[in-house]
Every structure is written in structure tokens, then in C-alpha cells.
Homo-oligomer: A and B are copies of this chain.
Amino acid sequence: MKDGPLDRADLHGRVQKALDTFLDEHQPRLRGVSEDLDVLLDVLRDLVVGGKRLRPAFCYWGWRGAGGADDEAIVTVATSFELLHACAIIHDDVMDASDLRRGRPSVHQQFASLHRGAGWRGDSAGFGVGAAILLGDLCLAWADEMFTASGLPAEALRRARPAYDDMRTELMAGQYLDLLEQARGVGSVESAMRIVRYKSAKYTVERPLHVGGQLAGADTAVLDAYSAYGLPLGEAFQLRDDLLGVYGDPAQTGKPAGDDLREGKRTVLVAMALEQATVAQADVVKRLLGADDLDDAGVAALRQVIVDTGAVAAVEARIDELRQSAVGALRDSSIDVDAHDVLRELAAAATARRD
């Protein structure tokens, strides 16, 4: 995203700086307890360096779009979303037993390696999971600490709290529904889209915009415009992510090729494929998706079948439609015109093909 929307207001660099400042301040506090805690910060620093900063960007531009002036306090609040997201991905990788994240071993795998390398007692995988649960918890608590101690007036924080609280509840709720969907294997397009709405669309786009807007004292018209822009865009973002999980280049996604197929993820893409499949195609999907012995040839076969059902083209069309709907919502909206260009660029960046 070089020269992209995150370079506006130098947001990428300022978010990194705010993260560094926060973690630097906490280092001596943890050291005061024990030097053994250094590793928690080391792992976290490595993880957050790789973030795309989409949620901070939506929070920041939610503020600007409601007439808020640029300052460091809003960047700090926006940065807190990156810590919340760190919790989400650390715990998500534990739940999905994912080995890689952002091109590196996932957090629980890093702690398992630490255990293995040190030759400690007990089960290395169990140690990795335990440490990852705790580091995720710490990130969730720290996100809230950073949000609250940002320096914004108490009255602004009070206004934005309900949106912040709803977002966290919706995130956990969406994650649970996702877990349930994988377990039930029902996989209708409708139920998959409901998960996308809560787990991704609200959490990644709509709520960060709302929080930023509420902090700046946005009126209902602006908040409604954020929903009209944010919900379709967030859905499009997740659909792009679904495609990348199946067809993405590992160098770009930081995950193995076809990772979602090996995990057997019941995404909207898979649900669409199953809805449009012939009996023979559906048999291939059901047999191979998430199969323990799925090899590269199996991944290739699954990819082809999903294309053949027309699901890929359908998802691409849906992404286009959703993005246009999002961008269209900016026109004639009460959102400050200064933010329109960036929100349009963010819509493109969040949904762009990466191939």
C-alpha cells in the first residue's frame, strides 16, 4: 500500500510509533515483575509490525470524516484497534491450529518452539497454546487500556464506548458462530454471510468508523453513512479474504497456498460453490475439503472445481457490487468531503486482487 491511503496523514508510521511507545512504556513494568516476561513483548512486537492497519485507518478517518482535527490522541485510539486485532488473530490461530501468520510461525507455534528448544517438561504444544491464550488476553486488556488512556476527553470516550463495546461483543459472537459453522458444516450462503457480517464487516470497517465518528461527536446522518459505506465494504473485504485463502500467493498472504482448503473452512466461497455445483462437483468438494490427507494435487483439484462451479466469478462479481455500493454511499452523504478520497482509496485497497 505504498503511496496508498495509509500514507495519507502518514498513518502507517504513526500507528507503528504509537505501538512502539505503548510497548516501550510497558516493558519496564513487566521487567519489574520478571525478566522472563520479555518474551511476551518480543513476540508481540514482531506480530504487530506485520499488520495492515486497516482498522486504525477506518477509526482515524471515521474521526476526520466527522470533522475531527488531526492530532496524536486520535491516532492513539486508532492504534488500540491493532492491539485488539492482535488478540483476535492470536486466539484465532489457536482455534484454527494455524501454523503460520503473516509469513512467520503463529504465536502458539513460537511458544511451542521455545518450550521444545529449552527442553522443558510437559507438552510443548500445550505450553504454546497456554502462552498464546495469555498473550491474547493481555492484548485485549491493553487495547482497552490504550483506548481509555489516549488523552481524549472523558466525554468523547463516553460517547464512543457503546460502539466500542458492541464491536467487541460482535467480534466474539461472530467468531463463535464461525466455530459453530465449521462444526455443523451446514454452509448455506446465508449463514456464511451472517458470520461475515459480524466477524468481519462490523468489526473491521463499520465499528471502527463509528468509534472514530462518535469520538468526534458525529451526528446520526454521518453514522448512518458510515454503516452504508462500512457494511458492504467489510463484506467485500472478507470475500476477498476468502478468495485469497484459496487462491492467494503465499508470499502475499503469509499463509501456505490453499490454507483454507486444508483447514476445511466453510466460507461464503465454498457455500456458493456447493450451491451451484453439479452432484459430481459437490462430491469432490465434500470429499477433499479439509481432508486429513489433502495434498498439493488435491488442493489443485479443489481449486479447479470451485472455479468450474462459477463460484469464483460470482464472488468477484459480488465484491465489485459491494464495493460500488460502499463507494456510492459516500456521495451525497454527510461525511466530511476531505475524507471521501481516502475512504474511496481504502475501499479499493481493502478489496483489491493481489495477483
Contact = CB atoms under 8 A, between A and B. Distances in A.
A115 B184 CA distance: 9
B169 A131 contact: no
Interface stretch (A74-82, A136-144, A238-246, A322-330): A136-144
Nearest to A144: B144
A97 interface: yes
B137 A136 contact: yes
Interface stretch (A99-107, A173-181, A248-256): A173-181
Contacts of A30: 169, 173
Contacts of A165: 141, 145, 149
Interface in A135-172: 135-138, 140-142, 144-145, 148-149, 154-155, 158, 161, 165-166, 168-170, 172
Contacts of A29: 166, 169
Nearest to A115: B183
A176 B131 contact: yes
Contacts of A95: 126, 129-130, 133-134
A213 to B, nearest CB: 19
Give the size range of A's interface with the partner.
Answer: 35 or more
A126 B97 contact: yes
A118 B264 CA distance: 19
Contacts of A183: 115, 118, 120-122, 127
Contact of A137 (B135, B140, B170): B140
Contacts of A134: 91, 95, 172, 175-176, 179
B33 A173 contact: yes
A40 B142 CA distance: 24
Interface of A: 26, 29-30, 33-34, 36-37, 40, 87, 91, 94-95, 97, 115, 118, 120-122, 126-127, 129-131, 133-138, 140-142, 144-145, 148-149, 154-155, 158, 161, 165-166, 168-170, 172-177, 179-180, 182-185, 194, 198, 264
7 contacts: A33-B198, A36-B176, A118-B183, A121-B182, A121-B185, A137-B172, A138-B168
Given A33-B198, A154-B154, 6 more contacts: A33-B194, A95-B133, A97-B126, A121-B183, A145-B168, A154-B155
Which 5 A-B pairs give the minimum distances between C-beta atoms? A154-B154, A95-B130, A120-B183, A141-B168, A138-B172
